Structure 1
Amino acid sequence: MLISNVIKILLLLLGGVFIVLQGLGFEFEGSIVCAVIFVLLATLYCVYSENKSKYFFWFLVTFAVAQLVGLSSYFGPEYDIDETDYFYFASNGLYILSYVFLISRILGDLSFKTIVTQFYVPIIILLVLDIFCVILVTATTENVLTIYEYSLEFVYNVVIMALLSVALINYMYRNDNKSMLFLLGSILIVFSEIIQLTYYYVLEDNNLGFIYSTFLVAAFLFFYLQSQKEYTGPVPAFTDEQLNV
């Protein structure tokens, strides 16, 4: 218990350091701190969590490995515009895989028949909005990335929006604290990714670095908190008819 508390305090401190470094534009140093954060977070969950999910476990591990691969790119060769950046493809491929694990974690506990029956209208609306958002957000990199990098970015954004949609449907179905925390984490992840995309490809402003890193740290805080809870839903939504006066 003492060791786990020490790790939690250390994670909070490192999270603050990471935000400050990104806000000041020290990306290399921030990448080192970020890699340490996710290795410690994966260790904390794997060793000290009582109720473990294999999907959430692999999400944390894969995300931590992606961070390490991204950090390794600073020590690798510099690529010209017409050359393939293998670190870019490897790290982003691992990020996509990690989010797929997270989506699988939620889908595994949902009743598809119930979800489709109760929420077919929201599902259709979310699908339309997801397509619109993915096309709009990915278009910001159209003149910056190669066709292969653009395709990977498109898939990345599809998975991110799918995560948010699944989290929203899960909350509508469960209506409990665990699903609410997961939804908040997913919202912050989407905001973090969009702002990070803007930071790297549209407007290199240190304020954006501060904002996206803050959202990223807060997102994983919510993800960890929800991992320590159990589902208590599905719970019927509140209505006036439920009041018996």
Structure 2
Amino acid sequence: MTVYAIIGGSGLTRLEGLQIRQSLALDTPYGAPSAEVQIGEYAGSEVLFLARHGHPHRFAPHRVNYRANLWALKQAGAEAILAVNAVGGINGAMGTGHFCVPHQLIDYTSGREHSYFADDLEPVTHIDFTYPYSESLRQRLIAALVVEGAGFSDRGVYACMQGPRLETAAEILRLERDGCDIVGMTGMPEAALARELQLDYACLALVVNPAAGKSASVISMTEIERALGEGMVRVRSTLARVLRAD
């Protein structure tokens, strides 16, 4: 059976229901990960869990040590990554509470340590990143969402912005012109690092607010937190269905 790792984002700094057997405080060549890697049983399967932003939530998106996080999960035995991301909805069909399993992404970040292939290389290494998400893992998420009965999109383009601030309305219009459907701050370099480590990787994105300029009101953190609280119940259930189906 595949050994899955779940990376929890905002709203999922701990995996309720995980029967923790071991917590590993791992060191990596790239420093310490955001949190301990928890190993235990969830939905009848062995699973690894890592809080992307730490527990409690303390690392802003541009300060997350993505290289250490992915390296630690690989070191702990992960073979595939289920990444949970809270996002804003650009596409009008992707309102608050909607799920998206993106098939593509565009990276708008800067200044992040984005590769393991950076220094003292012999030879220079390039990965094929044409399709950034594992299609087989995407299909597992889609099948689970169908059974779950959740409103979701089985395709979408994820725009990864630098953060930690939210975007301007003009920036969102630009992203929309670029073909983006959802916007977040943590999808990259996480997906690329997983590919460099030959880990299957897919994203389960929960829309927690309309993107800037996509509603008549300003973005409210209270409303985002409410959407996170409500949506994470279905996130956990969806993840459990993926694990049971393996």
TM-score normalised to the size of structure 2? 0.30
Greater Rg over alpha carbons, structure: 1
TM-score normalised to the size of structure 1? 0.30
Higher relative contact order (Cα pairs below 8 Å, separated by 6+ residues): 2
Structure holding more helix per residue = 1
Structure holding more strand per residue = 2
